[in-house]
């Protein structure tokens, strides 16, 4: 689907980009963060609450949804949008990453991956054709190709084999998406660049996938255990090798400073479970760094998590109340802290977009990171 992405502006001092990604369920202003809805729900949030914090697009997990409740059940109920009550864009991963991290008795062949479900031990096969079919059953707006994500650390030879296999699977996914009409009715398929820590492997993988003219490109194999400088280096190596006219997405990342740094490297889309996951443990984000609300010092603190931040949690509740809910293990704390953390991420992306438009992204993002990392939030 050429033309789905419009590059509106490129920052003069960094590689940051302001873009717009058209989908069947509306446009996504980029850079943007995608809340993760693994099992057909962004944990603890209603779709109405997601809309209220300004979420533009969410992520669903093919591996999980295909095992439970099953792609056919979701298709029979009108697709993932109708199933979960979200009428905005949905990107789904291919399931490959979870096969490598969750499934048991995995066998990787040239045609695909055979594995046992982590839920009930059932034998499942995922090949390029299957992952496109499943994502069609889910009615994804943006599907990801099946890939093999090398672990970290990884020998060069093993990495080369995974990259070559991933390249062939990517081509097969694109062919399946064309043959089945997946692309024709406005859906998109994004390729995934692997290559571990080997710069030349990443560059060649990016070039080979770029030649296939995908609607978008992800940088995969990052945030798999490597140190942060190494992760940023991989993104810095890979991003310039991707077509400038297509959206770029780093999968599974990251902290607020990491997002701003990757935007400066030319990345447009992000997803990460961190803001939702840490919320359930009482951790919240602020411009002065993270806080853990379970700390005794918040026992009678009447302040909101972030003064002036316009979300339901900050408008109505004190740190003392949120701490109380967390210590009492009340379900509501998961909802209220997830609202805050996701809104904090989305608001950060809104600020990033505004500063790219204003032409001062470089200075702004350096200042933001400096405050976040040096200040002591209380």
By the criterion CB under 8 A, which residues form the site for a second copy?
A: 39-41, 43-48, 68-69, 73, 76-78, 83-85, 299-300, 302, 312, 316-318, 320-321, 323-325, 327-328, 330-332, 334-336
Q: Are 254 and 285 in contact (CB under 8 A)?
A: no
Rounded least distance, CB 321 to a second copy, Å = 5
The count of other CB atoms within 10 Å of the CB of residue 106 is 12
Rounded least distance, CB 343 to a second copy, Å = 14
Q: What are phi and psi of 92, to 5 degrees?
A: -115, 140
Nearer to a second copy, 299 or 371 (CB): 299
Alpha-carbon gap, residue 374 to 349, rounded angstroms? 21
Rounded least distance, CB 208 to a second copy, Å = 38
Rounded least distance, CB 187 to a second copy, Å = 22
* DSSP SS3 for 319: helix
Q: What does the block give as tokens for 298? A: 């918040």
Nearer to a second copy, 47 or 256 (CB): 47
Nearer to a second copy, 180 or 318 (CB): 318
78-81 contact pairs (CB < 8 A, 24+) = 78/139, 79/137, 79/138, 79/139, 80/40, 80/138, 80/139, 80/140, 81/25, 81/139
Integer angstrom CA distances of residue 249 from 9, 81, 257: 17, 22, 16
Rounded least distance, CB 39 to a second copy, Å = 5
Nearer to a second copy, 142 or 322 (CB): 322
Nearer to a second copy, 86 or 97 (CB): 86
Nearer to a second copy, 49 or 196 (CB): 49
Among the residues of the chain, which ranges form H helices? 47-52, 62-67, 71-76, 80-84, 96-101, 128-138, 156-179, 199-210, 228-238, 256-264, 274-279, 312-316, 319-327, 331-358, 361-374
Nearer to a second copy, 156 or 303 (CB): 303
Could you tell me the sign of the dihedral formed by the alpha carbons of 278, 280, 281, 282, in that order? positive
Residue 93 annotated to the active site: yes
Rounded least distance, CB 283 to a second copy, Å = 16
Q: What does the block give as tokens for 272? A: 């990460």
Rounded least distance, CB 316 to a second copy, Å = 4
Catalytic residue among 11, 93, 139, 347: 93
Catalytic residue among 11, 141, 271, 301: 271
Q: What does the block give as tokens for 161? A: 């084999």
Residue the block writes with tokens 């296939």: 212
Q: What does the block give as tokens for 76? A: 């029979």
Alpha-carbon gap, residue 73 to 79, rounded angstroms? 9
Residue 271 annotated to the active site: yes
Q: What does the block give as tokens for 312? A: 């339901």
Give the residue numbers annotated as catalytic, written as ranges. Answer: 93, 271
């Amino acid at each position: 689907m050429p033309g789905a992405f419009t590059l509106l502006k490129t920052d003069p001092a960094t590689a940051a980009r302001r873009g717009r990604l058209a989908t069947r369920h509306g446009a996504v202003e980029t850079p943007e963060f995608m809340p993760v809805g693994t099992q057909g729900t962004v944990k603890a949030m209603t779709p109405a609450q997601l809309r209220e914090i300004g979420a533009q697009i969410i992520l669903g997990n093919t591996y999980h949804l295909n095992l439970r409740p099953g792609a056919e059940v979701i298709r029979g109920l009108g697709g993932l949008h109708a199933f979960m009550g979200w009428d905005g864009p949905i990107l789904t991963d291919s399931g490959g990453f979870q096969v490598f991290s969750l499934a048991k008795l995995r066998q990787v062949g040239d045609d695909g991956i055979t594995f046992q479900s982590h839920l009930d031990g059932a034998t499942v096969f995922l090949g390029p054709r299957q992952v496109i079919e499943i994502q069609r059953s889910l009615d994804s707006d943006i599907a990801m190709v099946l890939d093999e994500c090398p672990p970290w650390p990884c020998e060069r030879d093993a990495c080369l084999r995974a990259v070559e296999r991933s390249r062939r699977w990517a081509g097969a996914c694109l062919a399946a998406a064309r043959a089945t009409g997946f692309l024709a009715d406005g859906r998109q398929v994004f390729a995934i660049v692997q290559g571990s820590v080997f710069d030349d492997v990443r560059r060649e993988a990016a070039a080979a996938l770029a030649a296939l003219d995908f609607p978008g490109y992800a940088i995969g194999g990052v945030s798999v255990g490597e140190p942060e400088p190494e992760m940023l280096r991989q993104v810095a190596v890979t991003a310039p090798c991707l077509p400038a006219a297509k959206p770029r997405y780093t999968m599974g990342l990251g902290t607020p400073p990491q997002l701003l740094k990757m935007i400066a490297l030319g990345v447009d889309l992000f997803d990460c479970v961190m803001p939702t996951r840490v919320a359930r443990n009482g951790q919240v984000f602020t411009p002065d760094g993270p806080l853990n609300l379970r700390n005794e010092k918040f026992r009678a603190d009447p302040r909101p998590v972030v003064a002036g931040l316009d979300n339901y949690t900050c408008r109505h509740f004190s740190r003392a109340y949120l701490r109380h809910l967390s210590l009492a293990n009340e379900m509501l704390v998961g909802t209220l802290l997830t609202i805050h953390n996701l809104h904090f991420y989305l608001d950060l992306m809104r600020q990033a977009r505004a500063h790219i438009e204003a032409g001062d992204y470089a200075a702004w993002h350096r200042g933001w990171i400096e405050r976040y990392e040096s200040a002591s939030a209380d």
